Amino acid sequence: MFLGHYAVACTAEPAEPAISLGTLVLAAQWLDLVWPALLLLDIEHVRVVPGITAFTPLDFYDYPWSHSLLMALVWSALFAAVALGRRLKPRQAALLGFAVFSHWILDFVTHRPDLPLWPGESPRVGLGLWHSVPGTLAVEVTMFAVALAIYTRSTRAIDHTGSWSLWLLVATLAILYVGSIVGPPPMDTRTLAMASLALWLFVPWGYWIDRHRVARPTS
């Protein structure tokens, strides 16, 4: 899943306005932020198999450290522990931990059964929403639209930057999303890994938006 992870970050923001949107993007996308680094280090592997799902030609045959159920739980616990170490409230640490784990749940819904439960010999799971392009679009676009409505209703821009930085993010995510559907498959996995590292940009982008928006008072 792609847009759905950003939807989680936007939806979680009003629950804990003290946590920056950037931190929530970091948490919700963490598994996909680690993944390209592990590909480049030759620790995890992916291959391009056109037609393997209707939505993506990527065959995620080896990614236990970023995307197994066990490691998703470990990453979630680490995030919560670091948050507590940085003196966030337990509720805030729990929210960040859950945001990390939400990534695995959403990937479980979208991926074909390629998600291992633990590193090593393990059953693989996935509900395979990606076998349907209309189904994937319906779920992800709805999630993202609802999340954006929640976010814009619970925060307001304090200057022009607070507005256009957000809408520029939405436009960029939309272009990347459409590009991933209609564009050609990646040339090779190294190029894919390098391009995927660009997902890190959305973390500082989230901090940037957050600095120019404040929570609306709840009535």
**Nearer Cβ to Zn ion, position 130 or 208?**
130
Taking the complex as a whole, how short is the minimal distance between the CB of residue 152 and Zn ion, in angstroms? 26
Sign of CA dihedral 83, 88, 90, 96: negative
The angle at the Cα of 127, spanning 124 to 131, to the nearest 5 degrees, equals 110
| Least CB distance to Zn ion at residue 32 (A) | 4
Q: How far apart, in whole angstroms, are the C-alpha atoms of residue 116 and residue 126?
A: 9
107 vs 210, which CB is nearer to Zn ion?
A: 107
Nearer to Zn ion, 158 or 201 (CB): 201
Q: What is the rounded CA–CA span in Å between residue 8 and residue 147? A: 7
Site for Zn ion in 31-50 (CB under 5 A): 31-32
In this complex, which beta carbon is closest to Zn ion, that of residue 63 or of residue 208? 63
Q: Which of 107, 114, 140, 210 touches Zn ion (CB under 5 A)? A: 107
3-class DSSP assignment, residue 157 = strand
Q: Cβ 67 to Zn ion, closest distance in Å?
A: 6
DSSP letter at 214? E
